[in-house]
Each structure stands twice: as C-alpha cells, then as structure tokens.
Amino acid sequence: MAKLSVNINKIATLRNSRGGNMPDLIKAAIDIERFGAEGITVHPRPDERHIKYADVYELKKVVKTEFNIEGNPKEQKFVDLVLAVKPTQVTLVPDSTGQLTSDHGWDTISNKDYLKEIISVFKNAGIRTSIFVDADLKMVEGAKETGTDRIELYTESYAHYYKEKREEIIKPFTAAALRANELGLGINAGHDLNLDNLKFFKQNIPGLLEVSIGHALISDALYFGLENTVQMYLRELG
C-alpha cells in the first residue's frame, strides 16, 4: 500500500493568520500520525508564510513516521535547514521565490549537473532524495542521471482533467511510472490529489510508494474531522 504523508502547510497558514499558536501545529502533526498517517510533509518557503523554519526543528523532535521536507535547494537557507534537521526525505522542487504553489517539475536534462551536485550533498548526509518531475519520459530518464532515489510525479494536470477524461490523462503518468520502475527509481506523487481522484491514480501507477497531500485533506477535515479524514484517505490507498 502506498504511504500517506500529510502536508501540514495549511494548518500553519491558519495559525499564522491570527498569530499565537492556534491551531497548534506540533500537536496536529502528532495527532495526524496517531490517526494513521505514515508521514508528515512540510514545505517551508523563504517568506515563511506558512511553515516557519523554527517549526521544522520542533517537528523533528516529535515526528515518529517519515518526515519529508520539500523546497527549492537553490535557497541556501533551505539546504542548511535540511542538513541540520536530517529528515527521512528531502523533496527538491523548482519553485521561484514568492511562488504561490508548485506548478511544474524540474527540467532534469538542463539542470542535470546542478541536481547531481546538490543531491550528492543530501545523500552524503544520509537523507533520501526525491525530485519533482512532470509525467514526461525524458524527464524521468533525466532524473535517473541525477542520482536521485525517487521522483515525485507532479499531478496537477491529472487532477484538473480527471472528471473530464481520466482514462486519457492517466496514460502519461502510468508510462512515467513504468519507466521509473525500469530505471530503479522510487515513485512518489502529489499536487491536487483528493478523495475523488486518489484511488484511480493509485490503481494505475505501478510501484507507487507515497503520496503527499495537504490542501485537499485539510479542506476535507473542515467537514469530516481530521481523524476521520485521514482514515478516509488511507482507505482510498488501500
């Protein structure tokens, strides 16, 4: 069964909107694990508009499952944070400064030398690496050349067209997964996966190891409650 890693950025966004410590991000992470999630994901950005760098250090003390830190390694502050915290996994995302949310994967061909260098830094520290890629065979093949352990398939296009043409839109993702399997790359996925589209995606992605879900899951929790929502997502992955 693919693991569910819950991205808790939106909990931090709510906290930051009023200051103080409500909701309590650290308690939320502990409870999300207790409710059955197999990982906690955070994506600190330079402006700290949701996850603060201090949060990451505090989370490291309490997270018992897999701790995944996402971000742009071209920000030296991010690199220093990851090396200090030593999470289970670092996911490298080509975000620009101030970007609202991730919207594309790496060009693993033109960025090959850079990615090889920075990935080696993290791997030498004993941290599993994953890089954000589009469902493009050339980008998957390029990822192999970087030395990364895993790829994370960027699933926004799948989610966008799921209701309209799911049988068609899943094809490049299945092909990318099959190629990753051939190359010995682990497969993660994330972005706009939700209770409507998650099961079909999981059923069609051979070797899927982990999904990272935040916005949809936290939004669903407003209606269903956090514990129940985590369980609902786990059932979709079962």
Residues labelled catalytic: 43, 70, 191
**What phi and psi, each to the nearest 5 degrees, are found at residue 208?**
-65, 125
DSSP alpha helix (H) spans, 65-136: 76-85, 112-124
Q: Which tokens sit at 48?
A: 């700290």
Any bridge partners for residue 91, and if so which?
Answer: 70, 130
CA distance 181 to 51: 33
CA distance 108 to 87: 23
- Going by C-alpha positions, the residue among 99, 97, 90, 202 that lies closest to residue 148 is 90
Contact call for residues 38 and 65 (beta carbons, < 8 A): yes
Contact call for residues 166 and 198 (beta carbons, < 8 A): no
Q: Indicate the burial class of 96 (C-beta count within 10 angstroms; 0-12, 13-18, 19 or more).
A: exposed
CB atoms within 10 A of CB 25: 23
CA distances from 171 to 158, 179, 211 (A): 10, 12, 18
